[in-house]
Amino acid sequence: MPKAKKVRIQKLLSEIGIASRRAVEEMVLEGRISINGRTRTKLPVLIRPGADEIRLDGMDVDTTPPGKVYYLLNKPQGTVCTRQDPGGRRRAIDLVREAPRGVHCVGRLDMDSTGLIVLTNDGELTQRLTHPRHGIPKTYVVEIAGRLDEKQMTTLKAPAYLDGRKTTGLKVRSLRRGRDRSVLEITLREGRNREIRRLLARLGHKVFKLKRTAIGSLTDRGVKVGNYRALKRTEVANLLKTASGTDAVESSTPAAPPRKRKSVRRASRNHAGKRLSARPGSNRNKSTRGAKRRRRPK
């Protein structure tokens, strides 16, 4: 039987939810981790998953990876989407009580924002949903101060530069226009750090409320703020399909032209330009031949 492939200890322990990679590195340097009975205090530390015995603070570490799970959480205001928070604030993953170790938020919503966020321990799905090239659409309902005029609306839809990189632009729809407050529906495909708030601030509009209402085909229907539900297999498959761009490819394929209905009475022309009847021997054909004979000189 071939030997198990060695991996860095910080990679393995972070994947199974023990701590972040940086935190594991600090544990090693502090002498809190032993491998096969030997305390390690220098990096790198390479281990064989399932073969080497790992102990943290004298306790055995179970390195068996848990099964993949997927949750959809409607994040309330005041919660953070980090795996560890030094300030001790409430985390989004704390709201999913039955979640096994290794579950993390896919992307982020800032502490003041509410709405949908996916939690999983599936690294492949996380990479697909967060990588800019996959462009998963995310929809938000945003309440702002004042209202956008046509010029500002055009500016908000156009690509802009944030942190030296160009955005892909936003899809914006006005839901309610008021003198003091307005409500917009905004869809984006990247999700830079506080992108919507920063772009609206450039236009002089403060954001009062920001709620994410959809991620791809997932919506907040039936999931109240602070609650969550497990995703169905078909929903996970749809997310992966959207991330791979399959839908975009299919939608960009032109539809086949409609088939022309054949008419027994409609005439066509041959290559010489002469009119041919669709029904040889019909009354219409006979009358045409008769008319031609009558026009011949005697």
Catalytic residues: 110
Instruction: With beta carbons less than 8 A apart as the criterion, state whether 136 and 32 touch.
Output: no
Nearest to 53 by CA among 67, 39, 66: 39
**Could you tell me which residues come within 8 angstroms of residue 254 by beta carbon, excluding any fewer than 6 positions away?**
none
User: Within 13 Å and on the Cβ side, how many CA atoms surround 125?
Assistant: 22
Instruction: With beta carbons less than 8 A apart as the criterion, state whether 186 and 139 touch.
Output: yes
Nearest to 45 by CA among 16, 77, 21, 80: 21
Q: Give CA 263 to chain center in angstroms.
A: 49
Cα distances (angstroms) measured from residue 248 to each of 100, 157, 166, 237, 242: 34, 20, 22, 15, 8
Taking every pair of C-alpha atoms in the chain, what is the biggest distance, in angstroms?
A: 122
Instruction: With beta carbons less than 8 A apart as the criterion, state whether 230 and 69 touch.
Output: yes
d(CA 243, CA 241): 5
